[in-house]
Structure 1
Amino acid sequence: MSTGEGGELDRFAEASIAQGSKSFAAAARLFDGATRRDVMRLYSWCRHCDDVVDGQEGGQGHVASPEPPEARIAGLRRDTARALAGEANGLPLSFRALGAVARRHAMPASLFEEHLNGFALDVEGRRYETLHELLTYCWHVAGVVGVMMARVMGARDEAVLDRAADLGLAFQLTNIARDVVADAGEGRVYLPLSWLREEGLSPDDLLDPAKADAVARLRARLVSAAEPYYASARIGIDHLPRRSAWAIATAALVYRRIGLKLVARGPAAHGIRISTSGPEKLAAIVSGARIAFAPRRPGGPARDRALWQRPTMSLHSAAM
């Protein structure tokens, strides 16, 4: 790859993360230069795939497409396979960025296939009866991304990668809790259907402001379900390089804060997209630094092996 093309990919990736995720963009600035470059490039592929499937740009709006969703998924699979095979001619920048990252970090193609399988579930309009089924979906769309990102940061120990997957699960559960009403407006329901029945709700009721109390209780259950995964991921952070640990700890604090704000606002959060303020992000950066640069006990990954056996649903090892 020429220096000129590398610069083009980096500019594209920078714009992609700035538009697509203000929360993660703030944390990504904390990585060392080389890691930040590849994290942003990997993010640009994930963002592109999400946008193609949803008919959006940067996670927003609606962009008309002549292709049905199934054909879009097929196109993503085709272009991803070409990028992983080292092809570049005619591929969009996001796929060229992906190919460079995958080769540099020896990523197995199965990781990208797992992620695309998650988008296929969205295209099918799949709904989930139980939390366990929902967590399987979360593995595809977010847990596997945590594994990819951890590999970019140099992680290879399977238990560390499991903890990275756990953080992806926590992030996705938080996202689902935040976007319950907005997703329902698009015809998407991710809340476990068994939970809805327990509240006496149907999927259509999620949009009804008169049902805000019940919806708030369901959101709180999702936020609570995310907590063990945030705790599990915290163990893995101690086994990342310091700058990477700082970025990931900050991102975890920012996303967890969103969930806590949702619970605190209760029914008042109905139909409102909760986010973190600038001061809250700054506080997370400071707290993340304390976590990342605190003295680490000797022993490395082997020391925490017993903690890694906790009965959380770590899907990475099972899936791979």
Structure 2
Amino acid sequence: MLTRPRLLDAARDAIQRGSKSFAAASRLFDRTTRERVWLLYGWCRRCDDLADAQDMGGRPGDQRGAAERLATIRALTAQAFAGAETGDPAFDGFGVVARECGITPAMADDVIAGFALDAADWRPRSQTDLLRYCYHVAGAVGVMMAVVMGVDPAHDDTLDRACDLGLAFQLANIARDLDEDDAAQRCYLPIEWLVEADIPPGEHMKPHYRPALVPLVRRLCEMEKAYEASARVGAGRLTFRQRWAVLAAAGIYGAIATEVDTAGKDAWNHRIRTSALAKVWHIAHALWEAVTPPPRTSVRPALGRRELAGRAAAA
């Protein structure tokens, strides 16, 4: 089995190639947290790439064989929890961080359930369905990230807030990546929203539907802001450097949602990215936020970790 330093090298490479935004924010953590975040990210990135037959978050490849790839993810993750060598640094690294921090198989299963939805060519019918998907692919990751930062798994409200940040990130991603998802024959806008806007399913990226699409995307961005505001309360309970890193990431992803909203029907003419200079600004602003008193309360959105997990279990 690869040594921990070798696994860290692979995880560092994965985050640098897979997400420049997360890579920038992760540098603000203390060393121990940073390394564990890298190992967790490496697993998430590898699972996502396997599920979508892609490389480091690029455009999804041939989706045939999705069920077999999902089975591979489940099998390798189970091996990692068992402490067995998988032959894949991302899964071996995940086994290390799971043992160090107390990540449970149930937490990982919640994330893998999101890949299962994509493998089944699932589409959200309602806003609740949309949020349930976001919970699996990002909110549940936020919960694991909180555990990696040392949050007590019994501290439900803080885990709820961590999940809210993941939900905010995914809502921003969906708003930004509508055209890329459409190219892969996917759409995460609820069917009910499309029907209300008189947009036929599968036609939302056609130029003549762009004006009707804009209010739906604004709705996504408003939801992102609500979940981000809730998450900022939880960030105030972390250590200083953890708080700084989380607030920097929140600022970067919140800015993506804001830019998509501001661009209106032109938001998908090119992929919206955060420049290096903008990242530096968000990191500096997050430092100021981290040293000032955090908001003590924020109205939490009606659907959060516990509500969405319950609905997922029922489904």
TM tier, smaller: over 0.9
Q: Aligned pair in 2 of structure 1 residues 208, 317: CA closer, same or farther (>3 Å)?
A: closer
Match of 1:102 among 98, 122, 138: 98
DSSP-derived class of the 1:206 partner: coil
1:68 is aligned to: 65
Q: Which amino acid aligns with 2:75?
A: R
Give the secondary structure class of the aligned counterpart of 1:205.
coil
> Which of residues 173, 176, 179 in structure 2 aligns to 1:175?
173
Measure, in 2, the Cα distance between the counterparts of 1:62 and 1:124: 15
What secondary structure sits across from 1:94 in the alignment? helix
1:136 and 2:126 equivalent? no
The answer on 1:78 being equivalent to 2:68 is no
Corresponding residue for residue 141 of structure 2:
145
Paired residues of 1:9 and 1:97 also in contact (CA < 8 A):
yes
Residue matched to 2:199: 201
CA contact (8 A) 1:162 1:317 kept: no
TM-score (normalizing by structure 1): 0.91
Amino acid at match of 2:203: D
Equivalence map 1:185-264=2 (5 Å): 185-264=183-262
Q: Deviations over 1:26-84 (max 9, x none)?
A: 1111111111001011000000000001101101155669x711011111111101101
Letter in 2 for 1:115: V
Q: Equivalent residue of 2:3, what SS?
A: helix
Contact preservation (8 Å) 1:159, 1:308 = no
Indicate which of 270, 273, 278 corresponds to 1:272: 270
Does 2:305 match 1:315?
Answer: yes
Q: Does 1:32 align with 2:69?
A: no
Separation in 2 of the partners of 1:250 and 1:43? 17
Matched-pair identity in %:
40
Q: Partners of 2:142 and 2:239 in 1: how far apart? A: 15
| Aligned residue type for 2:134 | C
Q: Which runs of 5+ in 2 are unaligned?
A: 311-315
1:314 CA displacement: 1.5
Pick which of 278-287 and 202-211 moved more: 202-211
Q: Deviations over 1:211-231 (max 9, x none)?
A: 221222221111011121011
CA contact (8 A) 2:167 2:227 kept: yes
- C-alpha separation in 1, matches of 2:52 and 2:184: 10
Structure 1 residues 279 and 117: CA distance shift in structure 2, 3 A: same
Distance 1:232 1:52 in 2: 32
Task: Evaluate the alpha carbon distance shift between residue 183 and residue 63 of structure 1 in structure 2; reply closer, same or farther with a 3 A threshold.
Answer: closer
Alpha-carbon distance in 2 for matches of 1:174, 1:53 = 21
Q: Match of 2:76, as an amino acid?
A: D
What is residue 18 of structure 2 aligned with on the other side? 20
CA shift, 1:283, in A, is 1.1
Q: How big is the shift at 1:291?
A: 1.5
Distance in 1 (CA, whole Å) between partners of 2:137 and 2:53 is 17
CA distance in 2, matches of 1:150, 1:163: 9
Q: Which amino acid aligns with 2:239?
A: P
1:58 aligns with 2:56: yes
> Residue by residue, what CA displacement relative to the aligned partner does 1:94-140 show, whole Å, maximum 9, x if unpaired?
11100000000011210001100110001111111111111011110
Say how many residue pairs are matched: 308
Rounded to whole Å, the distance in 2 between the matches of 1:100 and 1:16 is 16
Structure 1 segments unaligned to the other structure (5+ residues): 298-303
Amino acid at match of 1:11: D
